[in-house]
C-alpha cells in the first residue's frame, strides 16, 4: 500500500480522520488548550489508549511529529492512517 506523504493537518481534519479509527474526543477532559483523544476498547467505554493534542482553535495546524506521536499512542498504524487520508481526503 503506497504511503501518502505526511503533511500537517488542521485540528478539525485530524479529529475527523481519527473518528474513522474509533477515536473520540473527550471535551470534558484535557486542560486549557489541550484536547484528550481516546480510542475506547469497547463502545461507550472511556478505557483505552489516549493522548492529548494541543490546539487553540479548530483551525490550528498540527505538525507531522505531533500527528505521528498521537498515532503511536493511540495504536493506529500510520500507513493505514495516511492511506485512508489519501483515498478519502
pLDDT value at residue 3: 55
Percent of the chain at pLDDT exceeding 70: 88
Cα–Cα distance, 36 to 40 (Å, whole number): 12
State the average pLDDT over residues 3-19. 87
Q: Is residue 34 part of a domain?
A: yes
* Model pTM score: 0.85
Q: Report the domain count for the chain.
A: 1
Question: How many CA atoms lie less than 13 Å away from 18 in the CB half-sphere?
Answer: 28
pLDDT value at residue 55: 84
Q: Is residue 3 part of a domain?
A: no
Q: Is residue 65 part of a domain?
A: yes
Render pLDDT for 28-46 as a digit per residue (tens, 0 to 9): 766 678 889 999 988 878 8
Structural domain including 69 reads 9-88
Q: What is the per-residue DSSP string for 4-43?
A: PPP--EEHHHHHHHHHTTT-EEETTSS-TTEEEEE--SST
Amino acid at each position: 500500500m503506497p504511503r501518502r506523504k505526511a503533511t500537517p493537518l488542521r485540528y478539525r481534519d485530524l479529529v475527523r480522520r481519527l473518528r474513522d479509527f474509533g477515536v473520540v474526543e473527550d471535551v470534558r477532559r484535557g486542560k486549557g488548550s489541550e484536547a484528550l483523544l481516546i480510542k475506547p476498547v469497547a463502545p461507550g467505554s472511556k478505557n483505552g489508549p489516549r493522548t492529548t493534542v494541543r490546539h487553540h482553535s479548530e483551525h490550528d495546524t498540527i505538525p507531522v511529529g505531533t500527528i505521528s506521536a498521537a498515532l503511536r499512542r493511540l495504536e493506529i498504524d500510520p500507513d493505514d492512517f495516511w492511506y485512508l487520508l489519501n483515498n478519502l481526503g
